[in-house]
Amino acid sequence: MTESRPIKHITNLLRSDLPPAASRWVGFPEFNFVGGNNDADSVPLKTLAACAEAVLMREGRNLATYFLASGPMGYLPLREFIAAKLALRASYLCDPADILVTTGSMQALDLVNSAFLEPGDTVIIEEGTYGGAIGKLKSAGVNYIGAPLDEDGIRIDALAGILQDLADKGVQPKFIYTIPTVQNPTGSVMPLARRQELLSLARQYGTAIFEDDCYADLLWEGDRPPTIASLDQEGRVLYTGSFSKSIAPALRVGYLIADWPVMSRILPLKKDAGSGALEQMVLAEFGLDHFTRNVTDLTATLKGKCDAMVAALEEQFGASAEFLVPKGGIFIWITLPDGVDTTRLAQVAISEGVAINPGAEWSANAESGRHRLRLCFGNPDKQTIREGVRKLAEICRRETGIPPRSGNIDH
Ligand SMILES: Cc1ncc(COP(=O)(O)O)c(C=O)c1O
């Protein structure tokens, strides 16, 4: 291991403001309910392999040039596929020329943050939101304010209060970051009327909306409302999506859509000479028909896993675990009684092979998330889900007395 090398250390030369040091990866825990991992059996291997062969034999020589002879926005056939998919599945008509292919939607978040945010700026996020987004805002030195959620997403009355409060203090929030379709972590879907209200509030207070549709293709309950971006007539909405959840996260392909006056300022910040070419080519070749078939099958599989986790939670935690049954996606956001500290629970659980996301890391206000947790059911099989939830309940009972013995019998 390089730690023991007899060399003079250079760590004293590192920047003083780096984040905490990484730990070595030690493999997945036995019951892995963290992260946005997906169902392994649903990765469409044969089709991806056939697409890779076809596109490489036909256009592989373009790999000799940076940007695949498509320019810095990304491989054009992929941008055309994304535009067709959004038109068909999300009623969102956009020009492939406004779509930037990114290395996962995480890069889209980084680019938008870099283009809009300076230390001390203010943004509005959802009270429960993607922990990765919170982490990025923290390291950007930005103030973030959590807007309360209900079963339909951001509460518009509360958001109006926050915006007015900021206006009274002379603070201009840079954007409202929202995950309106299959929200992370709650799994809710914002109805059309609320999307329209959100947009008109943003207009009234002169702020932007950053719409993150990472899980939007994994909806199994109800119709998919149009994107907020599609309702926007003035270029107020920045939009990001990803193939991580609909095909596979390790591919690292996402996209960012914005009108050119904004995109032309964002593009120079993407300094990596293009996202991975092979993945872009294979996904473009995969195309809309395979995509539609894949997400139909994947969504049915995920719904089955979700049902298994819901049943396991009810059986093991009974009334001690409150949650909305998600309308799609890969997560359940659970509220335990006030006395449970899930940050501590997560530490104990991981030492016994159960990984959970503590709610504090997924909450704008860490304190309000202290007794919440997020479980991902995307990757483990149903048996692992059942066993893992039983083990988590045992650990939680031992550590906190919650849930009382035999959750659903006692309540
Ligand atoms: C809401 C949300 N946005 C963005 C991302 C980033 O995903 P990726 O970079 O794999 O597209 C995630 C990952 O879990 C997420 O949950």
Which amino acid makes up residue 295? V
Pairwise CA distance, residues 103 & 242, whole Å: 9
Average pLDDT over the chain reads 95
Is residue 344 within 8 Å of residue 370, measured between CB atoms? Answer: no
Strands 372-376 and 175-178: unpaired
Instruction: Judge whether residue 2 has pLDDT over 80.
Output: no
Pairwise CA distance, residues 142 & 123, whole Å: 7
Instruction: Give the residues across from 144 on adjacent strands.
Output: 123
pLDDT value at position 55?
98
pTM, full prediction: 0.96
How many CA atoms are closer than 13 Å to the CA of 92, on its beta-carbon side?
Answer: 30
Instruction: Judge whether residue 410 has pLDDT over 50.
Output: no
Instruction: Judge whether residue 73 has pLDDT over 50.
Output: yes
Pairwise CA distance, residues 59 & 249, whole Å: 25
How many CA atoms are closer than 13 Å to the CA of 62, on its beta-carbon side?
Answer: 18
Residue 405: pLDDT band by 50, 70, 90 thresholds?
confident
Using CA of residue 366, residue 368, residue 372, residue 376, what is the dihedral sign?
negative
List, for residues 100-150, the tens digit of each pLDDT value: 999 999 999 999 999 999 999 999 999 999 999 999 999 999 999 999 999
Q: Closest ligand 1 atom to the C-alpha of 107?
A: 9
Pairwise CA distance, residues 342 & 358, whole Å: 5
List, for residues 45-63, the tens digit of each pLDDT value: 999 999 999 999 999 999 9
Q: Closest ligand 1 atom to the C-alpha of 252?
A: 10
List, for residues 272-328, the tens digit of each pLDDT value: 999 999 999 999 999 999 999 999 999 999 999 999 999 999 999 999 999 999 999
Residue 406: pLDDT band by 50, 70, 90 thresholds?
low
Best probe residue, ligand 1, of 110, 186, 244 (max atoms within 8 Å of C-beta) = 244
Best probe residue, ligand 1, of 125, 213, 214, 218 (max atoms within 8 Å of C-beta) = 214
Q: Of the ranges 3-12, 30-39, 332-341, which one carries the lowest mean pLDDT score?
A: 3-12
* Kind plus residue range of the DSSP H or E element containing 178: strand 175-178
Instruction: Judge whether residue 407 has pLDDT over 70.
Output: no
Best probe residue, ligand 1, of 105, 129, 280, 330 (max atoms within 8 Å of C-beta) = 105
Residue nearest to atom 14 of ligand 1 (CA): 36
Strands 143-147 and 122-126: parallel
pLDDT value at position 404?
93
Residue nearest to atom 3 of ligand 1 (CA): 214
106's CB contacts (< 8 A; 6+ apart) are 132, 254
CA 251 – ligand 1 centroid, Å? 12
List, for residues 190-237, the tens digit of each pLDDT value: 999 999 999 999 999 999 999 999 999 999 988 999 999 999 999 999
List, for residues 320-377, the tens digit of each pLDDT value: 999 999 999 999 999 999 989 999 999 999 999 999 999 999 999 999 999 999 999 9
Instruction: Judge whether residue 8 has pLDDT over 80.
Output: no
Instruction: Judge whether residue 3 has pLDDT over 70.
Output: no
Q: Closest ligand 1 atom to the C-alpha of 184?
A: 1
Instruction: Judge whether residue 408 has pLDDT over 60.
Output: no
Is residue 197 within 8 Å of residue 156, measured between CB atoms? Answer: yes
List pocket residues of ligand 1, CB cut-off 6 Å.
36, 104-106, 130, 132, 179, 184, 212, 214, 242, 244, 249, 254
Is residue 329 within 8 Å of residue 218, measured between CB atoms? Answer: yes
pLDDT value at position 19?
87
Best probe residue, ligand 1, of 101, 106, 110, 215 (max atoms within 8 Å of C-beta) = 106
Residue nearest to atom 16 of ligand 1 (CA): 130
pLDDT average, residue stretch 145-167: 98
CA 88 – ligand 1 centroid, Å? 22
CA 187 – ligand 1 centroid, Å? 14
